[in-house]
Amino acid sequence: APIFGVDTSMHIFEWNHKMASITGFTKAEVLNTNLVDHFVVEGHRSAVQNVIASAMLGKETTSYEVPLQINRLETVHMLFSATARRDDRGDKIVGVVCVGQDITAEKTAKQRSDALAQELRNLIKTANAPIFGTDANGVVNEWNDKCQDFTGMSAGEAVGMMLADCVVPLESQSAAVSKAFEDARLGRETMGLEFSVEGIGTDGKRGVVDLLVNISPRRKRESEIVGCIAIAQDVSSFRQLIAQEAELAKAHSSNNAKTQFLATMSHEMRTPLNVIGGMIGMLLETK
């Protein structure tokens, strides 16, 4: 274990082989140098001084993190317990001995993990699709910017509310939507669920917004389900386009029927009964 000791003026008097291995400095190189001034990262010096000062008053400190600057580019993170060192008679405190462990690898891994988590949070927040999530009780704990766009409700307003009060489907679809979210909290995904809500469309007008939603369980690393996450897409304009295409197809079909009617009439005009019977059948088919 890394061990170092300082006297009452913060000068190093002990520096074991593990400290030398971790920092790259031998005991001979650091002996009598001021620990705080030479090794503690600026911004942490006052706190470290306070911890060591408390130990010199007999107040032991356990598991205190100390970042040590070993060169201009590299920092090692140490977790120490500080204990007072007394003279041979045991009467007077003459310094502090710190025993600990190198947690640099763990610290670096956590920093990377935190950075990745923050990046993912930013991606969710700014994603070009509504993303919302709940805890295991259906309380909203995720609400990105696009959710605000289509509901008019900010994350500050939505988080902490019941999802059922934030995303309200049409009454005829309510049971199916509730079941899909309950399924997700039980570990079952629902893909491509379509439902409509009262909201703000892409045109900025309030009305019925059609959503296509994928709902998935949200898990901890241990696979424990802690809620659900939903990714939605506003398909209102797509549905409008489909409806328009259907109308165009219907109109096109009607025009084709009229053209066929005229062509057949001119061809079959010599046999009126055939014309009448055939045209009635064609008209019935195109209704």
Domain assignment present for residue 241? The answer is no
Domain assignment present for residue 116? The answer is no
Tokens encoding 241: 């386009």
Q: What pLDDT is attached to residue 269?
A: 42
103 and 13 in one domain? Answer: yes
Q: What pLDDT is attached to residue 200?
A: 81
Domain assignment present for residue 115? The answer is no
Which domain covers residue 98, as residue numbers? 3-109
- Pick from 165, 162, 125, 166: nearest CA to 146: 125
134 and 180 in one domain? Answer: yes
Residue 108 bridge partners (DSSP): none
Domain assignment present for residue 118? The answer is no
Domain assignment present for residue 120? The answer is no
99 and 173 in one domain? Answer: no
Domain assignment present for residue 117? The answer is no
Average pLDDT over residues 101-105: 92
155 and 252 in one domain? Answer: no
Average pLDDT over residues 114-121: 88
Helices (H) and strands (E) in the chain, counts: 11, 10
Domain assignment present for residue 123? The answer is no
85 and 148 in one domain? Answer: no
Q: What is the full DSSP assignment across 55-112?
A: HHTT--EEEEEEEEE-SSS-EEEEEEEEEEEE-TTSSSEEEEEEEEEE-HHHHHHHHH
Spatial contact of 130 and 144, defined as CB atoms under 8 Å apart: yes
Residue 76 CA to residue 197 CA, distance in Å, equals 54
* pLDDT at residue 283 is higher than 60: no
**The pairing of beta strand 93-102 with beta strand 3-7:** antiparallel
Residue 93 CA to residue 210 CA, distance in Å, equals 74
Residue 202 bridge partners (DSSP): none
Give the domain CATH number at 181: 3.30.450.20
227 and 170 in one domain? Answer: yes
* pLDDT at residue 236 is higher than 80: no
Average pLDDT over residues 79-91: 89
* pLDDT at residue 271 is higher than 80: no
Residue 278 bridge partners (DSSP): none
Q: How many domains does the chain have?
A: 3
226 and 137 in one domain? Answer: yes
* pLDDT at residue 71 is higher than 60: yes
Name 100's Cβ contacts closer than 8 Å, sequence gap at least 6: 1, 2, 3, 66, 78, 79, 80, 81
Residue 182 CA to residue 66 CA, distance in Å, equals 47
* pLDDT at residue 60 is higher than 50: yes
Q: Which of 109, 137, 157 is the last residue of a domain?
A: 109
Average pLDDT over residues 108-120: 89
90 and 13 in one domain? Answer: yes
Query: pLDDT digit string (tens) for 159-181?
Result: 999 999 999 888 889 999 999 99
Q: Which of 80, 109, 138 is the last residue of a domain?
A: 109
pTM higher than the cut 0.75:
no
Residue 204 bridge partners (DSSP): none
Query: pLDDT digit string (tens) for 121-149?
Result: 888 888 888 999 999 999 999 999 999 98
